[in-house]
Amino acid sequence: MQSTDLGNKESGKIWHRKPSPATRDGIIVNIIHTTSDYLPKVLRFLNVAFDSSGDCLLAGDHQGNIYVFDLSGNRFTLVQRTAQACTALAFTLRRKTEFLVALADYSIKCFDTVTKELVSWMRGHESSIFSISVHASGRYAITTSSDTAQLWDLDTFQRKRKLNILQSVGIQKVFFLPLNNTILSCFKDNSIFAWECDTLFCKYQLPAPPESSSISYKVFAVTRDGRILASGGKSNHLHLWCLEAKQLFRIIQMPTQVRAVRHLEFLPDSFDAGSNQVLGVLSQDGIMRFINIQTCKLLFEIGSLDEGISSSVISPHGRYIASIMENGSLNIYSVQALTQEINKPPPPLVKVIEDLPKSKPTSGDLKMKVTSRRVQRPAKSRENQTQTRIVKQDLTGKSENKENELSDGLNKKRLQILLKGYGEYPTKYRMFIWRSLLQLPENHTAFSSLIDKGIHVAFLNLQKKYPIKSRKLLRVLQRTLSALAHWSAIFSDTPYLPLLAFPFVKLFQNNQLICFEVVATLIINWCQHWFEYFPNPPINILGMIENVLAFHDKELLQHFIHHDITSQLYAWPLLETVFSEVLTREEWLKLFDNVFSNRPSFLLMTVVAYNICSRAPLLNCNFKDDFEYFFHHRNNLDISVVIREVYHLMDTTPSDIHPDSMLDVFVALTKGQYPIFNQYPKFIVDYQTQERERIRNDELDYLRERQTVESMQAEVDQQKVEDEAWIQKQELLQKAEETRREMLLEEEARVIQQRQRLAAVKRELKVKEIHLQDAARRRFLKFQQDRREMELRRLNDEIERKVYMRDQEIASTVKDLEMRHLELESQKRLYEKNFTRNQEAVAKEMREDADAYRRKVDLEEHAFHRLLETDETQNQKTQKWEEAEEKDFCLKLEKKASALSDASRKWFLEKELDDALEHAPHLYDKVAPRCQNEEVASSCLPQSSQLNDFSEVGSSTWSSLNQRKIQWDIMERDLIERVRNLRRRLTAQARSRCQTPHLLAT
């Protein structure tokens, strides 16, 4: 992997060698930005955006520096310095050279990458903008903050619409659907709405997710054809929505390591017609996993726990992935390299059975080959020597030394055999094996006493020199270095100690005791004689490495000498960083599996092997900067080949130049207390300590004096500035006073002129006012006259209208009277006819009753005469009582008949009177207005004696009524007379007293 530091350069190459990303990580280049204005400092990248072609990307850091990286042209250019952090970027505008950047002051600016000029400046947000979405046409853009989303026209840079919501809801993201005219808005309550871009009409709303899923949507991604929406949040579940059917069609559960999803993005493919099948999922552990949403299989992943990813962007054509790492650097990945293992062709159907390997050469043959090949090229006898050692181990396996027996029941020889067979220890048991190989004593009390001494003064400002994002990691590193400095004074002045200890601190950050003892064991055994020439690099150790390199590869050494490259450049950087700069985590762990399993000289041989295995690129280097870059950055080198080369060098190096002859055997740390480490020139260290302390005190005094002088100078400058400002202010005030005086005189002259003009205007206005009042008076008088004339005309019209209405009413009343008269005449004739018919019927009935009664009376008289003879005496006694009773009965009968007659007559008369009186008032109201004077009106009115008899029918009607009344009276008298005659006849009949009332009633 290549690494590029932008530094203070405004343009340059992205990589110096053609990138060849490995299949395992796929990294093309790692880009960092450091500055050395005052102290070395890493500027963190915050946002990345690709252009529509996918070959250029835009990146902005937290200080507002914006770079354009042309991946096809291998160039980077600083296009803008905004002086404030950028919160969002967009590089897919219609004008290809323009881009949008959202800044920390809530504004949006548009810049041109060619002219580097400001195109437009847009404001309107009141909180930080975290998303910019550009329409497929490049004409419109949506900027989103937590409280609002705004739609901008990029032709005029004017805001078209603004989406305001309740503060309790909040916006998650608002963006355009790809190749579509639809806007998708996602809110914090998991509601998702789709809007028409032109009219902002709500097209639809996705239904709420199932209640069983407690996912809270935070991130979203849409396929290139705009059909599938992927959403995730604080859960290891992903929801896939079909936007055409508007329903949830799949829920994907990520591995258990995923607890939350931080970013989602589909991987474009040139052959899927926009229906992307691969989804990139960035989780909380900093690893981005790419899965197939149809098969739900994990395809590949980028990032690691040690080098986590903060955010990622995929190019539109799906060729590159740009990831901002948690340490602030920028990684560019090759998708082709990452998918090489996936897209490789299927294995052949035809398999060839290979022959068995030839018989193993005998030890004599092997020795001959080793000897012969050492003269020609030592590296070629590597495999044979390895086989020789294995054979030797097999022969002597039963006589193992007690030195090979480790604690916890492990055997060093067997571990070495296992290591050579597999190349590394199992990850699960690596830490346990290391602790056993290094024989760590785990002195808790001694380590606690070192930790209790606190942070060493030499490492108080460690974060300034070595900025580490993880505060926990920085704290562990600071404590470990402080413990080493308290253990031995030389470690407080060792400049490369943080580089040497950092990989172990990162590996054992959860167990600081083991971390300290591993580093201490490494220093005592594998760093022997490193401090004899302190503060200079260990010349003796570098000399050993140079001798071995001269023996095995003279050509490479001559190349180094020819270009004035010493061992301090090609060996010491590897040693002081223990290969952590040039190896990845897995490669480094694999190397130290072998280092801790072998003698201390193995580490020095590794330096020689690394150079020999890299001889091809090194022989092509001709400048010192290229050599420095090579030994401080990762290179495309297989660590397994290097390790095999190390074993070869260990076995083929002569004993007179072999580091084993000058290094002691492995010595473990003592139990209880740590050993004294004084393998360094003490007087130099003490002198440096004293000098450093003196310099520190002098520096503090100098800083105090400088601060005092600066404060005094600042006061003097401030006073000078104030005096100059006061003088300048006085001059300005004097000039202003003179100007005001001149303006005052001019103003007075203008006021006098204005007063004169005002007096003339007042006179003109007075004359106009008089004329206007006269005209108004005349208009008012004319208005009064017109109004009176209008009143008279209105009254005449009203009189004529009332006279006309009166004539109409009189005419209609006369017609009504005539009609009523005709009706009464017809009713009269009808009543007379009915009365005559009823009278005849009553007379006939009475005659029949009288005849029947007469016959009956005769019979009764005849019977009475017969009984009279026998009852004469008795009848005489009761005669008086019967007469009284008969009188009373007749009286009651007469009253009943009279009441019946009166009721009938009264009913008939009341009915006739009611009909007549009903029309009398109307007739009076209609006839009275026609009278011209009071006399006529009084003559028209009826007298008080005539009111009861007045009717519409006149005197003829009342005469007919009187005739009827007389007829009823005659009938009544006739009936009474008939009753009296019957009473006389029945005086002598006692038994017929009960029948007579019945007869009369009938």
C-alpha to C-alpha distance for 517 and 985, rounded to whole angstroms: 164
Q: What's the pLDDT score for residue 371?
A: 31
Q: Give the tokens for residue 698.
A: 């002098």
Q: What's the pLDDT score for residue 825?
A: 85
pLDDT at 168 over 80: no
pLDDT at 746 over 50: yes
Q: Which are the contacts of 421, defined by CB distance < 8 A and separation ≥ 6?
A: none
Q: What's the pLDDT score for residue 688?
A: 61
Q: What's the pLDDT score for residue 924?
A: 42
Q: Which residue has the higher pLDDT, 886 or 62?
A: 62
Long-range interactions of 376-383: CB distance < 8 A, separation 24+? 378/552, 378/648, 378/649, 378/652, 379/552, 379/612, 379/645, 379/648, 381/648, 381/652, 382/644, 382/645, 382/647, 382/648
Confidence bin at 53 (pLDDT 50/70/90):
confident
Q: What's the pLDDT score for residue 959?
A: 59
Q: What is the pLDDT of residues 914-971, one digit of tens each?
A: 665 565 444 444 444 443 443 433 443 344 343 343 344 444 545 555 666 677 677 7
Lowest mean pLDDT across 212-216, 356-360, 648-652:
356-360
pLDDT at 865 over 90: no
pLDDT at 76 over 70: yes
C-alpha to C-alpha distance for 929 and 527, rounded to whole angstroms: 144
Domains 2-342 and 533-663 equal at CATH topology level: no
C-alpha to C-alpha distance for 171 and 146, rounded to whole angstroms: 5
Exposure string of 577-589, with b = 16+ CB inside 10 Å and e = fewer, is bbbbbbbbeebbb
Per-domain boundaries in the chain: 2-342, 533-663
Longest dimension (CA), the chain: 200
Q: Which residue has the higher pLDDT, 982 or 33?
A: 33
The CATH class that applies to domain 2-342 reads mainly beta
| Topology of the domain covering 533-663 | Cyclin A; domain 1 (1.10.472)
Are the beta carbons of 281 and 267 closer than 8 angstroms? no
Q: What is the pLDDT of residues 245-261, one digit of tens each?
A: 888 888 898 898 898 99
H or E element that contains 734: helix 682-927
Q: Which residue has the higher pLDDT, 997 or 27?
A: 27
What's the mean pLDDT in 438-461? 87
Are the beta carbons of 131 and 173 closer than 8 angstroms? yes
Q: Give the tokens for residue 359.
A: 């018989």
C-alpha to C-alpha distance for 966 and 951, rounded to whole angstroms: 20
C-alpha to C-alpha distance for 699 and 701, rounded to whole angstroms: 5
Q: What's the pLDDT score for residue 398?
A: 40
C-alpha to C-alpha distance for 203 and 195, rounded to whole angstroms: 5
Q: What is the pLDDT of residues 266-319, one digit of tens each?
A: 998 866 667 788 999 999 989 999 998 888 888 889 998 888 899 999 998 888
Look up tokens 């172990």; give the residue: 504
Confidence bin at 606 (pLDDT 50/70/90):
very high
319 CB-contact burial (10 Å; exposed 0-12 / middle 13-18 / buried 19+): middle
Q: Give the tokens for residue 66.
A: 């914006």
- Residue 158 C-alpha from the chain's centroid: 24
Lowest mean pLDDT across 48-57, 390-399, 853-862:
390-399
C-alpha to C-alpha distance for 560 and 227, rounded to whole angstroms: 60
Per cent of the chain over pLDDT 90 is 15
pLDDT at 672 over 80: yes
Q: What's the pLDDT score for residue 431?
A: 87
Q: Give the tokens for residue 938.
A: 């009084």
What's the mean pLDDT in 787-792? 89
Lowest mean pLDDT across 81-95, 119-133, 688-702:
688-702
pLDDT at 170 over 60: yes
> Mean pLDDT for the chain?
80
The pairing of strands 202-205 and 278-283 is unpaired
- Which of these, 551, 536, 552, 502, lies nearest to 522 by C-alpha position? 502
pLDDT at 709 over 90: no
Confidence bin at 56 (pLDDT 50/70/90):
very high
Lowest mean pLDDT across 67-81, 92-106, 955-969, 983-997:
983-997
What's the mean pLDDT in 364-369? 35
Lowest mean pLDDT across 463-477, 496-510, 952-966:
952-966
What's the mean pLDDT in 829-853? 83
Confidence bin at 344 (pLDDT 50/70/90):
low
C-alpha to C-alpha distance for 174 and 194, rounded to whole angstroms: 10
pLDDT at 342 over 50: yes
CA atoms within 13 A on the CB side of 868: 10
pLDDT at 193 over 80: yes
Confidence bin at 383 (pLDDT 50/70/90):
very low
Dihedrals φ, ψ of 99, to 5°? -145, 155
pLDDT at 89 over 90: yes
pLDDT at 905 over 80: no
CA atoms within 13 A on the CB side of 356: 3
- Which amino acid is located at 33 in the chain? H
Lowest mean pLDDT across 194-208, 668-682, 809-823, 988-1002:
988-1002
Q: What's the pLDDT score for residue 958?
A: 52
Q: Give the tokens for residue 828.
A: 């009269």
Q: What's the pLDDT score for residue 313?
A: 94
- Which of these, 57, 35, 36, lies nearest to 48 by C-alpha position? 57
C-alpha to C-alpha distance for 196 and 524, rounded to whole angstroms: 72
C-alpha to C-alpha distance for 781 and 788, rounded to whole angstroms: 11
Would you give the DSSP letter of residue 379? G
**Cis status, amide bond into 617, omega within 30 of 0:** no
Look up tokens 């002691």; give the residue: 664
Q: Which residue has the higher pLDDT, 47 or 846?
A: 47
Are the beta carbons of 603 and 530 closer than 8 angstroms? no
- Which of these, 382, 375, 431, 385, lies nearest to 408 by C-alpha position? 431
Q: Give the tokens for residue 966.
A: 């007389």
pTM for the whole thing?
0.41
Would you give the DSSP letter of residue 345? P
